[in-house]
Structure 1
Amino acid sequence: MKEKILKTITQIEKDYNVKIVYACESGSRAWGFPSKDSDYDVRFVYVHEKDHYLSIDPVGVGTKRDVIELPINDLLDMNGWELTKALKLFRKSNPPLLEWLQSTIVYYEAFSTIDRMKNLHREVFAPHSCLYHYLNMARNNYREYLQGENVKIKKYFYVLRPVLAAKWIEEFNEFPPLEFQTLLEKMIPAGEIKDAVAILLERKMSGDELDVEPRIYIINQFLNEEIVRLEAYAKSLNVHIPDPTGQLDELFRDTLEEVWDK
């Protein structure tokens, strides 16, 4: 599959006259709990030629789109963000982008751009922003999928993962790892809850459908209590993040030189 992804990257660069600087896995494969029928969720960052930026219309306005989205098929979901869009989101500590940078499944990386972004990671990390992102995700998924007496069991992971990510931020004041197994090991102490989640994880990864089944009370109770507690914690935070715009402007200009002047 990697060969197909690399061929697609080459074709994107040709079709859109861009250079891709990074491509990674972002979905359940990166989280460590793919199903047997999981597709590949590939996300990438790309940069246009210099002249594309030297115009009266900025990227993202009118016809100058700041995303490339390929048609989704049964196996591959692939889309990317233009570099200035990515850097503006990076400045805001955007969790999806930070997850891309932390992915352990990297399909392609060229030039120094991503390494430099990773070096700036701690300077832009905003715990309150990331907490609200994960808690909103957890609360919405909990309300949508886990309210009835019978629920789609596999949806527990779409609440568990953001809750455990938020707990990681609370405990370590850093962006959480992607891998669900790491979050489970560190964030839930030994006992009934951890055992129940571990059994679900084993079933999911072994290929069980995990369709509609009676809800798991002990996990529901844990999730509900943690969401309420973590929301109160998030409201208590008062964090000031220095503006990194100057450094990101420099990174952008250096990338243009590095990519297109070689």
Structure 2
Amino acid sequence: MKEVIQRKLAEMEREHALKILFAVESGSRAWGFPSQDSDYDVRFVYIHRPEWYLSIDDKRDVLELPIDEVLDINGWDIRKALKLFRKSNPALQEWLASEIVYQDDLGFRDELIRLSSDLFSPKTAMHHYLSMASGNYRKDLQGDHVKSKKYFYVLRPLLACEWIKQNKTNPPLLFQQLVSEMVSDSALKREIDELLRRKMAGDELRMEPRIDVIHEYIEGSLERLTKDAKEFTDRRQDYTPVLDSVFRRYLQTAWQT
């Protein structure tokens, strides 16, 4: 599948006259809990030729292929990516942490990784993951019977919040590491580990009776972390001049102008 993805990326470069600076896997495969039928969520950052940016009109800064049952491929223009990076965008921070890399040219990804801890905002990340956990819980885990695989999409952001509260740093991408370091209750950990084993073994994990120990953890954590999130402040340095320099340098590096 890696070769298929790389071929699709090369086709996008040719068709749209751009260069992909890096492309990685995101979603369940990057988080460490793919099912046998999980699709591939490919995310990338790209750069156009210098003249593309010299226009009096705004241009579309997102590029994607039609989604099918196997592939979900989309990316951001470098300026969009750097603007979001300046705001400590959690999705982009996760792309940088992904260990499944399809393309990584010219050192751009490494440069952002070096800057990521300086631009990281615990407040932004905390609110992002808390909103994700709360929204997924309300949408997918109500009632006496629930789709069990949906637990992961609530537990992972909640455990990320626990990490941020404790460490004030970017949370690990891998779900297993978050469970290992953030879950101390043995009964809760046992249920999560069993659910993870079943999901990765290919069990369907369709509608099943709710798992009370996990529900109790989710409900208690949502209430507690919502209060904790209000205490976070954001006093980061403005990195706009640094990111402007990165943008200009990669315009030259990518196209050798």
Give the TM-score range, shorter chain.
over 0.9
For residues 168 and 24 of structure 2, what CA distance do their matches in structure 1 show? 25
Cα drift, residue 19 of structure 1? 0.3
Among 220, 224, 227, the residue aligned to 2:219 = 224
Residue of structure 2 in register with 1:34 after alignment: 34
Asked if residue 136 in structure 1 is aligned to residue 95 in structure 2, the reply is no
SS at match of 2:60: coil
Q: Is contact 1:112–1:255 with CA below 8 Å preserved after alignment?
A: no
Separation of aligned partners in 2, 1:239 and 1:14: 41
| Amino acid in structure 2 at the alignment position of 1:29 | R
**SS of residue paired to 1:236:** coil
Which of 186, 189, 200 does residue 205 from structure 1 map onto?
200
Match for 1:24: what amino acid? V
Summarize the alignment of residues 1-262 of structure 1 with structure 2, pairs less than 5 Å apart.
1-57=1-57, 61=58, 64-261=59-256
SS at match of 1:243: coil
Identity value in percent:
51
Moved over 3 A (4+): none
The alpha-carbon deviation at position 239 of structure 1 amounts to: 2.6
Structure 2, gaps ≥5 residues long: none
Q: C-alpha distance in 1, partners of 2:132/2:234?
A: 22
Give, as a single letter, the amino acid of the residue that structure 2 aligns with 1:43.
R
State the Cα distance separating 1:108 from its structure 2 match: 0.7
What is the aligned length?
A: 257
1:250, CA displacement in angstroms? Answer: 0.2
Write out per-residue CA displacement over residues 130-165 of structure 1, whole angstroms, 9 at most, x where no aligned residue.
100000010111111111001111100010000001
TM-score computed with the length of structure 1 as normaliser:
0.96
1:190 Cα deviation from its structure 2 partner: 4.6
TM-score of the superposed pair, with normalisation by structure 2: 0.98
Determine helix, strand or coil for the equivalent of 1:241.
coil
Report the Cα distance in structure 1 between the residues aligned to 2:74 and 2:232, rounded to whole angstroms. 34
Alignment RMSD, CA only?
A: 0.9
Q: Which runs of 5+ in 1 are unaligned?
A: none
1:158-177: per-residue Cα shift (whole Å, max 9, x none)? 10000001111111111111
Q: Give the partner amino acid of 1:259.
A: A
